[in-house]
Amino acid sequence: MIEKLKKLKVGKIITDPKMSNYTTYKVGGNALAIVYPNHLNDLIKLLDFLKENDIKHKILGNGSNLIFSDETYDGVLIKLTEFNNLEIDDTVITVGAGYNLPKLCMKVAKLGLAGLEFAAGIPGTIGGAVFMNAGAYKSDMGYVVSEVKVIDENLNVKTLYNKDLDFHYRSSYLQKHRDLICIEAKIVLRKGDAKAIMDVIADRKQRRLLTQPLEYPSAGSVFRNPKNDYAGRLIEELGYKGKNIGGAYVSEKHANFIINKGNATASDVRNLICEIKEKVKEKYNIDLIVEQEFVD
């Protein structure tokens, strides 16, 4: 299969990659291959090949919300790093799915474009952020994305508009329709004062440094906040700050973060998440929703 993949000549291929190098938790086994398609036609050609040969595959952004198992992922991962086009037309941003979200946030802030400040500390790509409806500080992608281009299950390119994307708290239409692949987004911002925007970003960065365990590998918030409450508060009330399974620990700084202190396995992380979920359900009858995705 790898030889056939190489013959397609669709872009760079890395065989037998360690998923701990491609995820922010720094855990996980190997995959068969990661492919970096050069452009749209290559991506379509690659998807056609994978579907025709019934090969498992998945789009991989910055790996900030994925937990691969310790076993081999028996499939091909696709990274859209080359889909990094950026056009800025007044307040309208057209950007490729592989573009880095914090990088875009800083670029538009310096131009005096407001509305994306919430994203400065979210370590994802545009495509991943749209898929997850990534957000912070009471804002998210649903407030700024006007439309996206996707490849559908028949390998046709089509446009979905904001009203089609069903953005809600950490969810989107794309999560429920996994055959759709985001390749580009149009973001609409508003004019503001560059210094004021940069001040907001700097202030929030300082607050994150004080309240979040940014010095360790993690994937940000583990659980979505339940209605009118905070997952971190519930976990802390359980006495779970500092609790560990193997090398995976509940952060002492923020109970809704699980951190890898250097030798965690994917199983350690997964088991700790499942244990917390179970204990919160047992004590509070609240079924916490895991923000991260387990990949087998």
Q: What is the DSSP string of 247-285?
A: TEEE-SS-TTBEEE-SS--HHHHHHHHHHHHHHHHHHH-
Name 84's Cβ contacts closer than 8 Å, sequence gap at least 6.
Answer: 96, 98, 99
Q: What is the pTM of this model?
A: 0.93
One digit per residue, the tens of pLDDT, for the chain of length 296 reads 899 999 999 999 999 999 999 999 999 999 999 999 999 999 999 999 999 999 999 999 999 999 999 999 999 999 999 999 999 999 999 999 999 999 999 999 999 999 999 999 999 999 999 999 999 999 999 999 999 999 999 999 999 999 999 999 999 999 999 999 999 999 999 999 999 999 999 999 999 999 999 999 999 999 999 999 999 999 999 999 999 999 999 999 999 999 999 999 999 999 999 999 999 999 999 999 999 999 99
Distance CA 294, CA 65 (A): 9
Reduce the DSSP state of residue 125 to 3 states and report it. Answer: strand
Position 107 scores a pLDDT of 98
For the chain, how big is the Rg over CA atoms in Å?
19
Position 52 scores a pLDDT of 96
Q: State which amino acid sits at residue 91.
A: T
Position 10 scores a pLDDT of 97
Ramachandran assignment for 90, one of left (phi > 0), alpha (psi -120 to 50 degrees), beta (any other) = left
Centre a 10 Å sphere on the Cβ of residue 87 and count the other Cβ atoms it contains: 11
Whether the CB-CB separation of 225 and 249 falls below 8 Å is answered with no
Centre a 10 Å sphere on the Cβ of residue 12 and count the other Cβ atoms it contains: 12
Distance CA 152, CA 156 (A): 5
Cα-to-chain-centroid distance, residue 270: 17
Q: State which amino acid sits at residue 5.
A: L
Cα-to-chain-centroid distance, residue 60: 9
Position 54 scores a pLDDT of 96
Question: φ, ψ for residue 152 (rounded to 5)?
Answer: -90, -175
| 259, β-bridge pairs | 249
Distance CA 186, CA 169 (A): 20
Position 238 scores a pLDDT of 97
Position 18 scores a pLDDT of 98
Using DSSP, how many helices (H) and how many strands (E) does the chain show? 8, 18
| 242, β-bridge pairs | none
Distance CA 296, CA 287 (A): 23
Structural domains for the chain: 2-78 (3.30.43.10), 86-196 (3.30.465.10), 213-295 (3.90.78.10)
Q: Looking at the chain, which runs of residues are DSSP E strands?
A: 11-15, 31-37, 57-59, 66-68, 73-78, 86-89, 92-96, 113-114, 135-136, 139-140, 145-151, 157-161, 181-188, 190-191, 244-245, 248-250, 258-260, 293-295
Residues belonging to the active site:
170, 221, 291
